[in-house]
Amino acid sequence: MRNLNDKGMALVTSLMMTLIILVIIIGLWTVMDQSIKANTARSSYRNVTEATYGGVDLITKNLVPRLFDNVSTATIASEYRDLNMSLAASACLRQKLTLSPDKWTACPSSSKDFAPKNSPDIKFNLIDEKKKPSYTVYSKIVDTVPGVPFASGTNGNQLIGSAVAESSAGTTLTLEHYVYTIEVEGQGATGADKKLSVVYEY
């Protein structure tokens, strides 16, 4: 009687389990991503002040990171179509994200003034407690200060390196950052409005 080699079967089984776990993780991540987007669209606000602050959260936590992922403004607008979102041209917004105002050649001159309703970068609607679109939020980046890149480590330390028991050269990263002045204005259906000036570092 000969012994059967089960090593191949164990490898196939472990690979199948890894694949199943990976599919589950990707599925959960997708559901969470969609629920975050839907949560902002479903949030209701009691007054124009709350809606304006909600607009700031949406812009800084969702939209700016998406723009840094090199997603087109048309794609972002379609993802938030429930908010009736409109965005400035991709070329203008990309310049505003990384360049100082004197280099915004793709943007109209009105994009530098401090009135968010005048050539807004982002415009969208938020709903009130009765689930009606009652608040319009206008937003505009009016100043960008490119920061000094963060070093990945000091004194030769690497941001990503080897484990305790192994040696490697590690990875050195240059981490860019920017400071934005964002003007945001929320307007209610009754005409009440709220203006905010936000200094945001990304």
**Alpha carbons 144 and 179: distance in angstroms, whole number:** 6
Within-domain flag for 39: no
Domain span including residue 48: 44-201
Within-domain flag for 35: no
Within-domain flag for 17: no
What burial class does residue 92 get, using C-beta atoms within 10 Å of its C-beta: 0-12 exposed, 13-18 middle, 19+ buried?
buried
Model confidence, pTM: 0.69
Spatial contact of 116 and 159, defined as CB atoms under 8 Å apart: no
**Alpha carbons 116 and 119: distance in angstroms, whole number:** 7
Within-domain flag for 10: no
Average pLDDT score over residue span 118-142: 88
Within-domain flag for 87: yes
Q: What is the per-residue pLDDT across 172-187, written as a single tens digit (0 to 9) for each?
A: 556 678 999 999 999 9
Is pLDDT at 99 greater than 70 in this prediction? yes
Is pLDDT at 24 greater than 70 in this prediction? yes
Instruction: Identify which has the larger pLDDT, 104 or 112.
Output: 104
pLDDT at 102: 93
Query: In the chain, how many domains are there?
Result: 1
Instruction: Name the percent of the chain lying above pLDDT 90.
Output: 40
pLDDT at 81: 85
Within-domain flag for 11: no
Is pLDDT at 189 greater than 90 in this prediction? no
Within-domain flag for 139: yes
Would you state the structure tokens that stand for residue 8, as one six-digit string? Answer: 């191949």
3-state secondary structure of 1: coil
Within-domain flag for 188: yes
Q: What is the per-residue pLDDT across 40-58, written as a single tens digit (0 to 9) for each?
A: 555 667 788 888 998 999 9
Average pLDDT score over residue span 66-76: 89
pLDDT at 180: 94
